[in-house]
Structures are given as C-alpha cells and as structure tokens.
Amino acid sequence: MSARDVQVVVLAESVQAEEACACTAEVPTPWPEAREACRTWFAEKVGTIVHGLHLRDTAGNVIGHLYYTSSSRALAAYEIEDGVAVVHCEWIQRRHQGKGYSRILSEALIRRLEAEGCKGILVLATDDEQHMH
C-alpha cells in the first residue's frame, strides 16, 4: 500500500464517530469495554470540542486516526495560549506502521490548521508504547 492507496477524511459529523477509537480494538486490553462510551462522547463533541482525521484504505476501513482539540478546549489542563492545537491521539494500525502514513496524517493536519490560522501544535509524547509513543 502506498500514499495513493489511502485517503484522509476530516471528521465533521456525529455519524462518523461510529468508527472513532479504532485503536482500542487492535490489541487485547480492557479498552473495548469503554469503546462505546468513547464513541458516544465523540459523536456529541465532534466538530465542536474534538476534531479528527481518519486514514482510510482502499476498502474504506479506518487504518489510522489523529484526534485533536483547540488549546482553549483541551481535554486536560495545559498552560498554553489560545490558538494552538493539542493532539490527543495519533494511531496507525500496527500492520501499516512504517509506511509513511503518520506523515500523511500529520501533513493533512498541518495544512488544515494553517488554513485556519492556528499558531502551532502541541503533541504530548510518552515512553509508554501504547500511549503516544
């Protein structure tokens, strides 16, 4: 699969939340039990508080995502000025990692935020491989 074989889709409607949080289904964790609650919350907030991009393969399956908020509405408290995007979750399905898909999502986010006049992007990272590694 190459960059020509994927499509970045901007999440703008609550119905798209049915496919949100696909990362929770990839590995055996307690997360699948919370998936529906997360999707319900996402459906209520998409396009207002939380924003996102889904990466789809040629069959239309979500193989990656990037979720973010505005700094003024971040999901956790940060000392940061308004007008900055806060990336809360970036994920690429394990079997598709190493193919440049994170770069495709990141570049799509940068283009979108530049067009909106965003000042910058805050990305939190951790040593924990399961959480924004």
Q: Which domain range does residue 114 map to? A: 3-123
The pLDDT of residue 31 is 62
pTM above 0.85, yes or no: no
Tell me the one-letter amino acid at 74.
A
pLDDT given at position 30: 62
131 within a domain of the structure (yes/no): no
Report the CATH number that the domain containing residue 111 is assigned in CATH: 3.40.630.30
- The widest CA-to-CA distance across the chain, in whole angstroms, is 41
Number of domains in the chain: 1
pLDDT of residue 6: 95
Residue ranges, the chain, pLDDT below 70 = 1-3, 24-33, 129-133
Indicate the SS3 state at residue 13: coil
**CA–CA gap between residue 47 and residue 43 (Å, rounded):** 9
- How confident is the model over 2-24, as pLDDT tens digits? 567 899 999 887 777 777 777 76
133 found inside a domain:
no
The sign one gets for the Cα dihedral 21, 122, 83, 6 is negative
Instruction: Examine residue 18 and state whether it is found in any structural domain, yes or no.
Output: yes
The answer to whether residue 48 sits within a structural domain is yes
